[in-house]
Structure 1
Amino acid sequence: MTTREVTMVRIYLTEGKHQYQQLMELLHDKGQMAGVTAFRGIAGFGQTGKVHSSTLLDISLDLPLVLEFFDEPSKVEKVLEDLNNYVKPGHVVSWPANVNMGE
């Protein structure tokens, strides 16, 4: 099995901040990342302790969002620099990983 080294990145957001579209454009158009996935959470809280959640009675427009992407470490480093303009410190997590390239 052949593998390739990549860097995984996870960005924690909430819908209410309206950052999602800007970040998707950055990751797709400018960064041209190999893969990006957006996850919509049902509940979450951060440093402020404010719980963002959805209930049957209240369809919240401020739910947690997670954007996750990966690519070659050098490409990701360039995008991480740009992310500082969009995301507050402490909301981006990254780690090294390997992608299975097949036989």
Structure 2
Amino acid sequence: MQIPSDAILLRILVGESDRCGSQPLYQAIVLKARELNLAGATVLRGPMGFGQSSRLHTAKILDLSNDLPFVIEIVDAEDKINAFLPILDGMMASGLVTLEKVKIIQYGTNAKA
């Protein structure tokens, strides 16, 4: 798969307890991105965070949260990301979605190395 050097980073912030049907929202997003042949997706789990409610979510033992923050990052060409946004909107009831322009330096393996 070839993606242009000028691309878009789609960053999605959700809670661990957010759902899409019967599965975790972060998982549903990644599986849908894969189904639509986006270049790739990564899920990062945060040990601490807060959102619009200002309620603190933390992984500390004494204050164990069942709703830790998750960040899903997807990078691809602008047209492919823009086509994914309406689908994403239909999957999410809450969360934060951002877009950034990025420059791709390397994607995949480096045959020269």
Instruction: Tell me what 1:5 maps to.
Output: 6
Q: Percent identity, aligned pairs only?
A: 29
Q: Which aligned segments of 4 or more residues in structure 1 are displaced greater than 4 angstroms?
A: none
Pairs within 5 Å for 1:16-31: 16-18=17-19, 19-29=25-35, 31=36
Alignment partner of 1:66: what SS?
A: strand
**2:14–2:94 Cα contact (<8 Å) kept:** no
Alignment partner of 2:92: what SS?
A: coil
Structure-2 change in CA distance of 1:59 and 1:89 (3 Å): closer
**1:50-103 deviation digits (Å, cap 9, x = unpaired):** 111111235432100000010011111000121111224761000111112589
The TM-score, its normalising length taken from structure 1, stands at 0.85
Instruction: Tell me what 2:22 maps to.
Output: none
* Higher RCO (C-alpha under 8 Å, 6+ residues apart): 1
Instruction: Tell me what 1:48 maps to.
Output: 53
**Alignment coverage as a number of residue pairs:** 100
Structure-2 change in CA distance of 1:89 and 1:95 (3 Å): farther
Please tell me the residue identity of whatever aligns with 1:27.
A
Select the structure that is richer in strand: 1
Aligned equivalents of 1:44 and 1:52: distance in 2? 5
Instruction: Tell me what 1:92 maps to.
Output: 97
Give the superposed CA RMSD. 2.1
Alignment partner of 1:16: what SS?
A: coil
Structure 2 alignment gaps of length 5 or more = 20-24
